[in-house]
Amino acid sequence: MTTVALPRRRASGAALPSAAPGVAITYLSVIVLLPLAALLWQSQKGGADAFWQAVSSPDAAAALELTLGAALLVALNNAVFGTLIAWMIVRDSFPGKGIVNSLIDLPFALPTVVAGLTLLTLYGPYSPIGLNITYTRTAVVLALLFETLPFVIRSVQPVLLELDREMEEAAASLGARGHVVFRRIVLPNLLPAILSGMALAFARAVGEYGSVVMLSGNVPFSTEVASVHIYSQIQSDYVTGATAMSIVLLAISLAVLLSISALHRRSSKHVH
């Protein structure tokens, strides 16, 4: 027996047992909402002063600054190289392109800690090429570049594939050079996809933990990122500090993701 007033007409399509909506939403609430509610509850417990003190403490501020700076750098770098690689996959042809295309998703499939160990093998203390970047901020950036590689590529690729070649040909026949065609025709069409890929990469980079913790050495004030900072606060039972930093990171990622969906709504209106 259920009292949920939902349309259960056959014509509306696929069948679900009548309890399914309730069970699914309860599941979502217990797995995702309950823990996040506990975080919100914890954050207001100490009051605004304690919260502010925790996020503005020198080590927390340094970690946050490094995280945001590195994430921004990585997003910008991905905008350039991601677009270039997407262009290569769609427009260029060379033997082995199919394999390159499938390897792009490897960072999504490879566990973060394995990615960290992988980079550590090549660019760590036992580096076969004598290049040790551990304990530097370059390590943070490198780990984030690895983890966020697919976002811009996978967001630009389908748009580039659908892009009408005639526009470019028309511009070229009117005498526009390659770089002018790219700047005036291709780039404006790709921009929403590039931005949305950058935003996803940025949100991912802000929260990344596994690869960075392996590679960066995690020195406070130097190479400790925000997520590692939270981890060490948890280890030392400093709940207020961990809570405050978590709230800040969560707010940043949410803002970024909401702006992506706003961007999507705008650009889909633009098309139709």
Identify residues 229-268 at the interface with another protein (CB under 8 A). 230-231, 234, 239, 242-243, 246, 249-250, 253-254, 256-258, 261
Q: What is the DSSP letter of 183?
A: I
Burial of 191 (0-12, 13-18, 19+ CB in 10 A): middle
Tokens for 134?
Answer: 């551990």
Q: Do 60 and 127 meet the contact criterion of CB atoms below 8 Å apart?
A: no
Between 114 and 170, whose beta carbon lies closer to another protein? 114
Residue span 1-30 as binding mask against another protein, x where in contact by CB under 8 A, dash where not: -----xx--xxxxxxx---xx-xxx-xx--
Question: Could you give the string, one character per residue 99-118, with x where binding to another protein holds by CB under 8 A and - elsewhere?
Answer: -xxxxxxxxxxxxxxx-xxx
Nearest CB to another protein, comparing residues 53 and 101: 101
Closest CA to 246 of 40, 25, 100, 57: 40
Element (H or E) spanning 22, and its range? helix 20-28
Question: By CB under 8 A, what part of segment 50-79 binds another protein?
Answer: none
Which residues, 29 to 48, sit near another protein by CB under 8 A?
31-36, 38-39, 41-42
The residue (of 12 and 173) whose beta carbon lies closer to another protein is 12
Using CB under 8 A as the binding rule, the residues of this chain from 128 to 187 that contact another protein are 128, 142, 145-146, 149, 157-158, 161, 178
Amino acid symbol at 267: S
Q: Tell me how far apart the alpha carbons of residues 134 and 110 are, in angstroms, rounded to a whole number.
A: 21
